[in-house]
Chains A and B, each alone.
Chain A
């Protein structure tokens, strides 16, 4: 048996090895029939769909749908992912890490895709034992990968679901079935579980019945009905109409563990043609497909692209290019949501169609001249793969694809794609995609007569020119394969004609240490390419983290070789290498990072997993995706929106060879660390970060013995580092220093000093204020003594009070009292105010005595009774008022407001029960107060409150006045309480108010009598005058002193 050619590095390896000796890629072949036995199921499906589905008219008016692989079967798509057939069964069953991460599942060991229609992304070096990736080999060797792809295709289909997504790129074979070489039975339903949508959609293009897929949690994937055109490109978009059967944009988010929409669409598209799975297609793929369709490119290419859903709609929504009518999800007439994207052809696809729709020429060197990407902005991994020079012209394989699919434009299912002119691959980012439409892809264009559901786009009916050119170039590069120009042989021709760029990419993606040990023979056709040993797992492994961000180096392309090709770099790929030579300088042995401006999504997912196959970054492994600075913008515009980081940093060159994903966490020191997307990094526990940081620890930190053997960063316990000794004994005493002791003593003294009263400083016996006080006192005493002793009547009495005045109303009220009426008099003034109060209350009592009123005295002050006696004694000579006869003293009422209240409510039970006098309420004085055995204050004719305290007066007003009802409450207050009682008088709560000596004098004047008030009036008035003079003089004196002080202060300030 001939040696195996590594699909990744393109180097030959002996048959006995399963892993490439150079890049570590798996050398397992696919199924014998299709050469894709080791391919993931999705990839198989893609291939089957491309072989089964007939060509269909592209329907650009319909929303993007997965491209029917059958429609593209006339266009030989190079099976650049034929190397994925090297994936083992076990590996095929495992979803790639990047895919799992997209679905939110722990990444599985990286798998190697044997995608028939997509170049296998470059894989990081598999193991430390593997050699570092070699520099790209000579151009002839570049095609080795692609040469291998066709050979890999006929092999057994890979059971891995990860490779089915690329089946969308399979060209339809003569039978019109896309991917017919991929037996349906070999498609494992589980393969769709872990695929991104776009991959799933690609898988659906295999023309096989869509296997039952696991129920996705995120991706609302539903297998597309049979014969439903699959638009894998549309599946790449995120927004699809409700009519679309593809998964919605929500479901388009790649979640690890579930089949992405694009892959589902691929499967559904494959089922239609097949089995085509409706998947939301990213924009770029939708545009890609539309451009392909419009340009009359590879039939079914559009469907394939759409259904492939390379990256899922979220990531690839930015890939929706400016090309209209390709991935227009707003279109409602497309039942397939994925097809809606057909209306919006991404820029890179339009660019693929470009200004020179027929500029796709087969690149004898294995690479086709890249054209402008119709998608506008490609992910970084695509941009990195571009060659500036390659963007100027279509790649050969893409040109071949376009030329070989003339009847795809008649597809009615993809009218938008048909309308969209296919632009040449001017954009490097789309070079590889353009090649997808060409002969390099094992794309199964829909053949004529292939039944499609109404409204379903014919697979690859409107494949972009690039896709056609890809096929053509593949055909050309594969050595004039007669099948290249035949739609029926598109598949095989495509597979046999893996574009050089693809193979070269595969070769670039395989670093030196990842070169598969077993080099595969160069396939002579696309089928050979398909049947070629699949890219070893090592080759398809994700890049190391430190390699993923490195730009793609043109030198990386040197090792690419397309199986069956000339082994030379495609022109477009060569241009990529030239363009990126200036931009990036790859680190030896490391995958150059993407040079294209990254979209936020790209940057966020910069270190994310590859959505192709293994979950590792794809950017460095997908041949033909070399970035080209000249057309970065166009391609970038496609992928500007939501290109994941891993895709943005996808580097085809210098990618590590795919290695067995045996170790996820620990990476060899010489391997670049995997670059995880930002969102994954955010999820990573700190331990993982610590572990990563500990990767650089010296080897001696690894514990070799003891219970901690094998652990790293263990604290060293060398003798001498730790001294075992008894713990230090601490004293129970409070250790304080001198300062603290002094402060505590001070605090204690302060506390103790609080108990000792401070002695006030002795004031001088004679102060400056004393003479003034003496003077004032002397003057006052003299004036008062003179006027009081003389008994003069110099100061006239005030005028008679008016009736509306407070005194006048008091007079009227008392005057209106009936004779011999019980009147309650409350004596609540202090003995100190006796002089004033007696002057004010005296005439009132005299007036009441004149009316023979029966007086009841009560007081809330203990000395009230004494005051009553004192006052009454003044009138004893004039009025024979006897206690118990004309007046009674009810006594002292304690309790303040409560006592007043209870006395007001029940006076008889509160006071008046004298132990000596008995019940005072039964005396003749108060017998009228008790009416019907009810004693109430309201039974008194009037209540007169005499107080010097405004608060006491307020209490009586608040507590007793409401009980009186209509009975008047009169008040005789001191001059100091008058301002606070005046509001109650104005509110009507008291009927009359007599204030101080003046009020008494007014009352006396009204009565026409002369009492104490009149006696005191002259002295009082004189004292008031003296006080007024003192206040006036004092005011002037103070002002003068203040002015003096101010002047002195000003003079002092001036000085």
Chain B
């Protein structure tokens, strides 16, 4: 029975994927209509999946609270503010609260987290050559330095004339583009390969054997 289910899941994934993929290369009205329907169903299901994910988050923290684990207070806080945020949207009277929660907590915290990242990145760049001294590390730091020098301005000087124009332009628009294009092509090929493996049933990320 399990094998039948597994085969059925594979059949669903492969059949649906083939129909959708055909629509990219073959313009057949019948396939296009069916393809749009499948897409819409996938969009709906993706939204539902987000809700399921949030429910999973909620249930895990709830379980922590129920079990009175050491970090259950944090979980309680999390769930409290989660519900508070949800509740605040139900009533227009709580609109300021919602605005406060979003603009006062969510956004600033996230920005602040990125701000803290700057210190961490600088500390990492400072210790990079201590930990690893090779051509790649030196070249990495040199490139970073050149781009930063060409990006920012100097007091009263402005951007450095040659570095900001030629060097930075050469590095970012030529050398970095070559590498980035190779990475993009490689990623596309890898995506193609992975997708084909799923279509051939070799990989089954949806579970089953």
Contact = CB atoms under 8 A, between A and B. Distances in A.
Nearest to A1043: B133
A667 interface: no
Interface in B110-132: 110-111, 113-114, 118-120, 122-123, 125-130
A773 B123 contact: yes
Interface string A856-879: 000000110010001000000000
A796 B156 contact: yes
B153 A795 contact: yes
B87 interface: no
Interface in B148-171: 148-149, 151-159, 164
B119 A898 contact: no
B194 interface: no
Nearest to B126: A1034
Interface residues of A, number: 63
Nearest to B165: A799
A1038 B138 CA distance: 11
B42 A983 contact: no
Contact of B129 (A832, A905, A1039): A1039
A1037 interface: yes
Interface in A940-989: 954, 975, 978-980, 982-983, 986
Contacts of A769: 123, 127
A776 interface: yes
A870 B107 CA distance: 10
A1007 interface: no
A703 B85 CA distance: 102
A797 B164 CA distance: 12
A898 B23 CA distance: 12
A983 B141 contact: no
Contact of B172 (A799, A893, A905, A982): A982
A546 to B, nearest CB: 68
B149 A1028 contact: yes
Nearest to B132: A1038
A895 B36 contact: no
Contacts of A1027: 118, 122, 125, 148
Contact of B114 (A772, A780, A833): A833
A1042 interface: yes
Given A831-B106, A983-B181, A1031-B144, A1042 B133 contact: yes
A773 B154 contact: no
A1038 B129 contact: yes
B173 A982 contact: yes
B94 interface: no
B176 A1024 contact: no
A906 B176 contact: no
Nearest to B40: A902
A902 B43 contact: yes
A1035 B173 CA distance: 26
A798 B145 contact: no
B180 interface: yes
**Interface size, B (range):** 35 or more
A786 interface: no
Interface in A992-1047: 998, 1017, 1020-1021, 1023-1025, 1027-1028, 1030-1035, 1037-1039, 1041-1042
A1017 B184 CA distance: 32
A728 B118 CA distance: 78
A580 to B, nearest CB: 79
Interface string B39-73: 11011001101100000000000000000000000
Given A798-B158, A982-B173, A895 B130 contact: no
A895 B43 contact: yes
A982 B129 contact: no
B158 A796 contact: yes
A901 interface: yes
Contacts of B173: 982, 986
Given A832-B110, A1028-B148, A796 B181 contact: no
Contacts of A880: none
Contacts of A983: 177, 180-181, 184
B102 interface: yes
Nearest to A1046: B133
A834 interface: yes
A1031 B126 CA distance: 6
A784 to B, nearest CB: 9
A251 to B, nearest CB: 60
Contacts of B183: 980
A794 B122 contact: no
B155 A1031 contact: no
Contact of B126 (A772, A794, A910, A1042): A772
B153 A773 contact: no
A797 B155 CA distance: 10
A1017 B153 contact: yes
B27 to A, nearest CB: 12
A898 B35 CA distance: 11
Contacts of A815: none
Contacts of B126: 772, 776, 1030-1031, 1033-1034, 1037-1038
Nearest to B120: A773
B111 A1041 contact: no
Given A776-B123, A831-B106, A832-B113, A901 B148 contact: no
B103 interface: yes
B130 A1031 contact: no
Given A834-B107, A1024-B151, A796 B122 contact: no
A600 interface: no
Interface string B64-84: 000000000000000000000
B184 A980 contact: yes
A681 interface: no
A776 B122 contact: yes
A1021 B152 contact: yes
A742 interface: no
B130 A870 contact: no
A834 to B, nearest CB: 6
A45 B130 CA distance: 108
Contact of A1031 (B103, B148, B154, B158): B148
A833 B122 CA distance: 18
Nearest to A981: B180
A894 interface: yes
A835 interface: yes
Contacts of A1030: 122, 125-126
Nearest to A1032: B145
A899 B107 CA distance: 26
A777 interface: yes
A1024 B123 contact: no
A982 B176 contact: yes
A894 B133 contact: no
A923 interface: no
Give the most central of B119, B148, B184: most A CB within 10 Å. B119
A830 B180 CA distance: 23
Given A1031-B126, A1042-B129, A1025 B111 contact: no
Given A870-B103, A1021-B152, A1031-B141, A894 B122 contact: no
A129 interface: no
Contact of A1035 (B113, B129, B156, B157): B129
Nearest to A1045: B130
Contact of A1020 (B119, B149, B152): B152
9 contacts: A773-B120, A776-B122, A780-B122, A832-B114, A895-B42, A902-B39, A909-B36, A979-B177, A1031-B145
Given A894-B43, A1017-B153, A1035-B141, 11 more contacts: A769-B127, A776-B126, A777-B119, A795-B152, A795-B155, A902-B40, A909-B36, A954-B184, A1027-B125, A1030-B126, A1037-B126
Interface of A: 769, 772-773, 776-777, 780, 794-799, 830-835, 862-863, 866, 870, 892-896, 898-899, 901-902, 905-906, 909-910, 954, 975, 978-980, 982-983, 986, 998, 1017, 1020-1021, 1023-1025, 1027-1028, 1030-1035, 1037-1039, 1041-1042
Closest 6 CB pairs of A and B: A1034-B126, A1024-B152, A1038-B129, A902-B39, A832-B110, A895-B46
